């Protein structure tokens, strides 16, 4: 039976990715940009991002974000790096990410107790993007529920196609919406620890030397230093990986040129973020 290397990519808007494709030519050569558009045959993606679910696994390309037209997410950098390092291997990304989604509500997992709602889903609202943008959120845990549902569906698809799925990486890019209040920052790691515990219990048969990687948030956010310090300490204690996005020089303040979107990584930085994630995965 063929092995399927599964990668989970989850979080909020910088996991969705709001890098603008029109700036890619400023940072990458023509062949690389063309590949971003045509996609990677050996790195496929099944995604639920904002209002759109892909129809099963598709090529990893730009516009697997659905946050805005002609944007790209970190999955492009993941695909670029893995293709360069493992051209003969096949990878399957399962991406579930929603802008503005919090760990104190949206990403709650079952171990968080009564605040977690097992039946909470995105379809509580007719348009999840509109709901999120207007500050309305479904009941606690809906993002976690959507991720586990998407991953279970993905595993079934791969098994039906004759693969043996192995979850090799869990990539987490989240925390911006939890960083504006000290009490939320203080509670963050407790909730994240519960999320990973529940995730591992649900998918134990498929976890094969899985690396857990948590990315720090940018300097844009009020308590970014405190939150990133908690993330880094927790990763070290658990034997997980932490990505220091600030020290890496990832930027948020250049694009769009006329009115920079400082909440989200620029196009070259979103690719770099994906590559930073991918480098932590070794076969």
Task: Write out the chain in H/E/C secondary structure.
Answer: CEEEEEEEEEECHHHHCCEEHHHHHHCCCHHHHHHHHHCEEEEEEEEEECCEECCCCEEECCCCCCCCCCEECHHHHHHHHHHHHCCCCCEEEEEEECCCCCCCCCCCCHHHHHHCCCCCCHHHCCCHHHHHHCCCCCCCCHHHHHHHHHHHHHHHHHHHCCEEEEEEEEEEECCHHHCCCHHHHHHHHHHHHHHHHHHHHHCHHHEEEEEEEEECCCCCCCCHHHHHHHHHHHHHHHCCEEECCCCCCCCCCCCCCCCCCCCCCCHHHHHHHHHHHHHCCCC
Query: How confident is residue 134, by pLDDT bands cut at 50, 70 and 90?
Result: confident
Average model confidence (pLDDT) across the chain = 95
Instruction: Kindly state the average pLDDT of the residues 118-122.
Output: 94
| Residue 96: other Cβ atoms inside 10 A | 27
Q: pLDDT by residue (tens digit) across 49-100?
A: 887 889 899 999 999 876 667 899 999 999 999 999 999 999 999 999 999 9
Q: Say what the pLDDT of residue 65 is.
A: 79
- Per the CB < 8 A criterion, the answer to whether 117 and 149 are in contact is no
Percent of the chain with pLDDT over 90: 89
Percent of the chain with pLDDT over 70: 99
Tokens for 135, please give them: 């500050």
Query: How confident is residue 208, by pLDDT bands cut at 50, 70 and 90?
Result: confident
pLDDT at 197 over 90: yes
Question: What is 2-279's CATH superfamily?
Answer: SGNH hydrolase (3.40.50.1110)
- Cis peptide bond N-terminal to 34, omega within 30: no
Least confident of 41-45, 128-132, 170-174, 248-252: 128-132
Identify the bridge partners of residue 72 per DSSP, sorted by sequence position: 19
Q: Say what the pLDDT of residue 67 is.
A: 60
Q: Say what the pLDDT of residue 126 is.
A: 83
The terminus-to-terminus CA distance of the chain in angstroms comes to 18
Q: Say what the pLDDT of residue 66 is.
A: 64
Domain ranges of the chain: 2-279
pLDDT at 115 over 90: yes
CA distances for 136 relative to 106, 116, 125, 133, 221, angstroms: 11, 17, 9, 7, 21
Q: Say what the pLDDT of residue 118 is.
A: 96
Instruction: Kindly state the average pLDDT of the residues 146-160.
Output: 98
Taking only Cα atoms into account, the Rg of the chain, rounded to an integer number of angstroms, comes to 17
Q: Say what the pLDDT of residue 68 is.
A: 64
Q: Say what the pLDDT of residue 273 is.
A: 98
Least confident of 8-22, 29-43, 121-135, 167-181: 121-135
């Amino acid at each position: 039976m063929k092995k399927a290397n599964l990668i989970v990519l989850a979080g909020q808007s910088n996991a969705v990715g709001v890098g603008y494709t029109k700036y890619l030519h400023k940072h990458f050569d023509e062949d690389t940009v063309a590949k971003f558009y045509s996609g990677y045959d050996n790195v496929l993606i099944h995604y639920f991002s904002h209002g759109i679910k892909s129809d099963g696994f598709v090529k990893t390309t730009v516009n697997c974000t659905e946050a805005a037209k002609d944007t790209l997410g970190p999955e492009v950098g993941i695909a670029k790096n893995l293709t360069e390092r493992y051209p003969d291997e096949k990878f399957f990304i399962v991406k579930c990410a929603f802008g503005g989604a919090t760990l104190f509500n949206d990403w709650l997992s079952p171990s968080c107790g009564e605040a977690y709602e097992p039946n909470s889903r995105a379809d509580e609202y007719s348009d999840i993007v509109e709901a999120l943008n207007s500050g309305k959120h479904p009941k606690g845990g809906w993002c976690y529920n959507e991720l586990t549902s998407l991953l279970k569906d993905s595993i079934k698809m791969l098994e039906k196609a004759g693969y043996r799925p192995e979850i090799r990486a869990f990539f987490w890019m989240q925390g911006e919406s939890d960083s504006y209040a000290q009490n939320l920052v203080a509670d963050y790691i407790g909730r994240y620890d519960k999320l990973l515990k529940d995730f591992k219990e649900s998918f134990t048969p498929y976890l094969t030397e899985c690396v857990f990687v948590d990315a720090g948030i940018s300097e844009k956010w009020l308590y970014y230093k405190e939150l990133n310090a908690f993330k880094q300490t927790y990763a070290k204690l658990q034997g997980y990986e932490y990505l220091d996005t600030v020290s890496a020089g990832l930027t948020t303040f250049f694009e769009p040129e006329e009115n920079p979107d400082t909440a989200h990584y620029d196009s070259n930085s979103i690719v770099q973020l994906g590559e930073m994630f991918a480098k932590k995965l070794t076969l």
